[in-house]
Structure 1
Amino acid sequence: MAAKDNKQSHVESNSRRDFIKNSGLTLGGLVLGGAFGGLLNVNSKSKADSADNKSNKPQLTANPNVALMFFTQEEYNLTQAAADRIYPADDNGPGAKDLNAAIYIDHQLAGSYGINAKDYRFGPYYEGRETAGTQTKMLRKDIFLTGLKALDTYSQKHFKDKFTALDTEKQDKVLTAFSEGKVKLYGNVPSTEFFGLLRSLTIEGVYADPMYGGNKDMLGWKMRKYPGSRMNYNQEIMSEKFVTLEPQGLNSHMNH
């Protein structure tokens, strides 16, 4: 009886799979992928994997930590361009763009930091002085997105092109205007709020542990000769000579 049930279950499973495949099941006008795609193509994938295993072609593995979690591609490109002017490449090493600082910013805004989870967010609200710090009801993620839109609007108005299409000199002029509070964002938020976020997050993205998305290949640390996230320096501090250490990230400790 159990064998019969298993056989019937297998037949029903194949029937459902064929129905989904043949009916072209869609969600929002797009053919379902992901888990459904794996379900529908399990047999063909196994054959393909077997063929790949027999070949000597190198297998490329993507870094999942570089995937966008918050920005659209256009917002990411704009953030990348702006961050690269905050921390440009020079003779000392790469800039924010090559160090994946924009990925770090994306991940931070996608998490609790972006929604001010640890901040006191209840009223009453008063119009504070400039020396009182941030005095807006807007969340960091909303301030940042509003600032990105304003960058393009300001660039179009003053230089007849979007920010990413401007040369570096004009990009610097746009960012200078934002840093000096000469632009008003949506909700009457001063542009200094956005610029402050952009600047601090860019620097964090250059020097934070690579497990947070930025500081690609620990190059930010290498420029500073910083040894990274090591558990201790007991052996090194006993040496009479200066000890040069290769940077080490948090992931290296987790892998051991």
Structure 2
Amino acid sequence: MEKIELTRRVFIGGSAASVVAGSKARGREISGEEPWLPHQADNPSADDTPSYQFLSQAEVAFVVAATERVCPKDELGPGAEECRVALFIDHQLAAAYGRAGSWYMQGPWAKGEETQGYQSRLSPADMYRAAIAAIDRHVGVGHDGKAFAGLTPDEQDVVLDSLESGKLDLDGVDAKTFFKMLLLNTKEGMFSDPIYGGNKDMAGWKMIGFPGARYDYRDWVGRHGERYSGPPVGIAGRPGWNQQG
């Protein structure tokens, strides 16, 4: 069988710009009082809750392993595991995104076209739970009872390729749909604002040269093609900026 290579360069190509502009999977809600007055809105802070809220231990092991294969650590920077992508995904699944809180989730349930977006009757949380269980059962049959997380990187890549192509039977869960969701959520965890729990230390932004949520770029107007040299800034700002004088 031809070896499948999931490299960081392939993963990043064409994906980062769409994710840093706005993540679809947001578990935390930032709000303020109406009418708005200066310094009276919620002060946004990073989601540093270290504990998993939805995924079981076995499910965490799968997500950590799978996302690290999608975006592995290499000479360009840390991978998904170091950037806390699995924790980011867990916190989204535990919140409104996981239960499809703002989605239309009624029938009919006819199989949709690729252009019609998400068509499953399962919420994202339910899809993760059902798909991971089915994948680990499938892997266990052919690998002496091992789970996905216990496979070698090359073996994991074969399983992920089967998911992406839709060849793997997940007992009622569409494999291609799950892979697309896993891929999208991995990108979000790598490149969305750190306030949502992923992109630890803004490593994803630093890797691609994204400046973040800076308020003023006047000094850089017209400097086309030049790499921005300043550090990235998140929605929560930088420590010195949040002090009221």
TM-score (norm 2): 0.72
Tell me the SS of whatever aligns to 1:94.
coil
* Alignment pair present for 1:244 and 2:237: no
Paired with 1:73 and 1:94, the residues of 2 have a C-alpha distance of 23
Gaps of 5+ in 1: 1-62
Task: Tell whether 2:121 aligns with 1:137.
Answer: yes
Aligned match of 1:72 in 50, 56, 61?
Answer: 56
2:212 corresponds to: 228
- Aligned partner of 1:121 in structure 2 is 105
Aligned length: 193
Contact 1:88 1:96 in 2 (8 A): yes
* Letter of the 2:79 counterpart: G
What is residue 158 of structure 1 aligned with on the other side? 142
- In the TM superposition, 1:23-172 aligns within 5 A as 64-129=48-113, 132-160=116-144, 161-172=146-157
Deviation at residue 66 of structure 1 after TM alignment = 2.8
Shift of residue 146, structure 1, vs aligned partner: 1.1
Deviation at 1:218, TM superposition (A): 0.6
Structure 1's 244 and 74: CA in aligned 2 closer, same or farther, altered over 3 A? same
CA contact (8 A) 1:114 1:139 kept: yes
Equivalent positions of 1:194-233 (< 5 A) are 194-233=178-217
Measured against aligned partners, the alpha-carbon deviations of 1:10-62 in whole angstroms (never above 9, x if no partner) come to xxxxxxxxxxxxxxxxxxxxxxxxxxxxxxxxxxxxxxxxxxxxxxxxxxxxx
CA contact under 8 A between 2:130 and 2:173: conserved in structure 1? no
Letter in 1 for 2:229: T
Other-structure match for 1:255: 242
* Corresponding residue SS for 1:146: helix
1:149 deviation in Å? Answer: 1.0
CA positional deviation for 1:199: 0.6
Report if aligned partners of 1:101, 1:214 keep a CA contact under 8 Å in 2.
yes
**Cα deviations across residues 111-166 of structure 1 (Å, max 9, x unaligned)?**
11111122112233334345544322111110011111122112112222211111
Change (3 A) 1:209 1:130: closer
**Unmatched 5+ residue regions in structure 2?**
1-46
Match of 2:176 in 1: 192
* Separation (CA, whole Å) in 2 of partners of 1:156 and 1:242: 47
Contact 1:143 1:193 in 2 (8 A): no
8 Å CA contact retained: 2:68, 2:80: yes
Change (3 A) 1:64 1:99: closer
Q: Is the 1:154–1:174 Cα contact (8 Å) retained in structure 2? A: no
TM-score scaled by structure 1?
0.69
* Change in 2 beyond 3 A, CA 1:242/1:197: closer
The answer (yes or no) to whether the contact 2:52–2:90 under 8 Å persists in 1 is yes
Whether 1:176 and 2:153 are equivalent positions in the alignment is no
Q: Which structure's residues are more often helix, by fraction?
A: 1
The change in CA–CA distance for 1:197 and 1:243 in structure 2 (over 3 A counts) is closer
Q: 1:108·1:114 contact (CA, 8 Å) conserved in 2? A: yes
Larger-gyration structure (1/2):
1
The letter for the 1-side match of 2:175 is S
Contact 2:211 2:228 in 1 (8 A): no
Letter of the 2:76 partner, please give it: N
